[in-house]
Structure 1
Amino acid sequence: MSILGFSVRESVQARGTEMPVDELREALKQGPVMMGPLDMGKLVYNPNSPNLGGSDHYVVALNMRGDEICLHDPAGFPNVFLTLDKLEEAWKSEFPWSSGVYRRWWSPERIEHPDLEEINRRAFTWFKSTLTEQTHDIAAQEGRTGASAILHKAAQVRAGAIDGNEWAHYVYFALPVGARRAHDYGLFFKTIHPDLSALKYGQSRQFGECQSRLVSRNWEAAATIMVALAETEAMIEASILKME
């Protein structure tokens, strides 16, 4: 929002607190409220929710009616209803990459009018700082990131060493979402950074192929395309870090 020139109100609760129903109701009087992360496995209006447990998601709340809330879900479910108790189950879920629970945003207000060149400059700065911070934080925890993490997973896949829950997470959520996001970034970079655009389009195709191989449980083919994904990721990271 700040990259585009908007301020927005944001709030989050401490873990273990009650869902802020009254605050949410008041915020909805001012307009839609973005909420998340939520656990997709708890969003029961989605018939595929049993396969999506542990996947983070964001929705927009539109209004409350009694003990139900009306949501716009960008996963293909506009104007759906969820009971408040089911909303609480999904919204109180904790994810390692998000501090606190019941996070929400509302009342966006334009405070600047950046032109496209400034928006792109801010975006480049954000991409670079985010990549640097993530790499540093994970390295500090002695974890893997980027190409190294993908290669590690490729070795596990080649050996068939992933359980059913992880398999479902990849084929139903992580790889399809990765393919879509990579394609969108390819479009974003098309005129302002053609080389990076080509890498992101290529990455999107690799995500899609990897998903296809995993669905058929062709571990060898899936691992091979994961190795190629790792090579592409390394080139993408190098390109981002060279941005000015």
Structure 2
Amino acid sequence: MKHVPYVGSGPYCYANSFAMMLGVDAPSTVTIEFATSSPFGMQLLGGTLPFFDPYGWTPEAGFDAALDAMGWISAVTKSNSKEDALAQLELALSEGPVWVGPVEMGHLRHQPGMNGPIGADHYLVVLAVDDEGVRMHDPQGYPFSTLPLDDFLTAWRAETIDYGDSFTMRTDFRRVQVVQEDDVIRASLPAALRWLSMKHPQHVSEGTVGNEEAAELLAGMIEGGCSDDLRGHLIHFAVRVGARRLADAATCLARVGGAEAAKIASNQALLIGSLQYPLAVGRDAEAAAILRQLAPGYSQLLGALQGLSQNP
């Protein structure tokens, strides 16, 4: 199948938030996501929770490298109490919008159905704190939304997120070098290789497995009886973002002459996207078979990226 780039909605919260903060000079969200290395691998966290992102990777692990590749820097602030966090936020807002996260999505009660922690991370751009609470651009699809201050601070505490620190924000985004998008992609290839090789994990909980082993193990879990929680995680988040990440990776790799790597990434995207229907309707044997087709693609993509890096 010919690769067709995806354009549409989806859970790209930090890439969209970065794009808002960088303004008119922002690369496309396709390139921002690529630069974080998110497409390059799969992990089964703790041996039970699947993510189509690299072994040992978290969003925070990719942010600074992505900004560096794009020619930007920012200042990171972390607070120890909600009082200090609020004071820091209000001070920063006097200079402009503030990038905030991770936050616990389940406490974002402006989103329908959110009534408490669900262990899902999220990123936002805060615009103001006023009498109505916190006003923000929520890239989940809620521009200029408001949230009562107490709910926002509870979400920002991020106690139920398994990485990062409470009350983290980024400010003072500055462009220090003009980098064209193709050069951002090229500059991000070494990090992509490191993550896909599984040699430099940063956040590995006990029992976590990656890439082919993760795909095979998940296939067995689904065949053995897919729980409602696992199915919900896959069809509402993991499959959607995983397919999009790899589709965007294919687009980026093709731009810099990586035709073989782009072809493999596109096929991986197709396979992950193909999981959505069978998982949604309970055709679990079909989903397991797709995962087993997906498994060898990670080593194939690694080989193609190694070839691209040796012959840029």
Q: TM-score range by the shorter chain?
A: 0.7 to 0.9
Query: 1:106 aligned to 2:190?
Result: no
Q: % of aligned pairs identical?
A: 22
Query: 1:10 aligned to 2:10?
Result: no
TM-fit CA distance, 1:175: 0.8
Query: 1:172 aligned to 2:236?
Result: yes
Q: Distance in 2 between matches of 1:241 and 1:5?
A: 24
* Structure 2 letter corresponding to 1:190: A
Aligned partner (choices 197, 203, 209) of residue 274 of structure 2: 209
RMSD of aligned alpha carbons: 2.5
Render the CA deviation track for 1:140-166: whole Å, top value 9, x for unaligned: 955311111111011010111x32222
Query: 1:232 aligned to 2:297?
Result: yes
* Structure 2 letter corresponding to 1:186: A
Query: 1:90 aligned to 2:129?
Result: no
- Residues 13, 165 of structure 1: alpha-carbon distance in 2 compared, 3 angstrom cutoff: farther
**Kept in 1: contact 2:137–2:144 (CA 8 A):** yes
- Residues 51, 66 of structure 1: alpha-carbon distance in 2 compared, 3 angstrom cutoff: closer
Render the CA deviation track for 1:107-152: whole Å, top value 9, x for unaligned: 1111122345542332112212334466555789553111111110
Question: Where does 1:49-68 land on structure 2 (aligned, <5 Å)?
Answer: 49=114, 53-66=118-131, 68=133
- Residues 39, 242 of structure 1: alpha-carbon distance in 2 compared, 3 angstrom cutoff: farther
Aligned partner (choices 146, 150, 160) of residue 215 of structure 2: 150
Structure 2: gaps (5+ residues): 1-66
Matching residue of 2:29: none
Render the CA deviation track for 1:93-117: whole Å, top value 9, x for unaligned: 2433x33222211111111223455
Segment of structure 1 superposing worse, 227-236 or 56-65 = 227-236
SS of the counterpart of 1:61? strand
**Kept in 2: contact 1:175–1:208 (CA 8 A):** yes
Q: Distance in 2 between matches of 1:243 and 1:227?
A: 26
**Kept in 2: contact 1:52–1:169 (CA 8 A):** no
* Structure 1 letter corresponding to 2:92: A
**Kept in 2: contact 1:203–1:232 (CA 8 A):** yes
* Structure 2 letter corresponding to 1:203: Q
- Residues 231, 50 of structure 1: alpha-carbon distance in 2 compared, 3 angstrom cutoff: farther
Render the CA deviation track for 1:49-74: whole Å, top value 9, x for unaligned: 46992222211111111251111122
SS of the counterpart of 1:190? helix
TM-score, structure 2 length as denominator? 0.69
- Residues 133, 21 of structure 1: alpha-carbon distance in 2 compared, 3 angstrom cutoff: farther
* Structure 1 letter corresponding to 2:130: R
Aligned residues: 240
**Kept in 2: contact 1:41–1:49 (CA 8 A):** yes
TM-fit CA distance, 1:10: 0.9
TM-fit CA distance, 1:205: 1.8
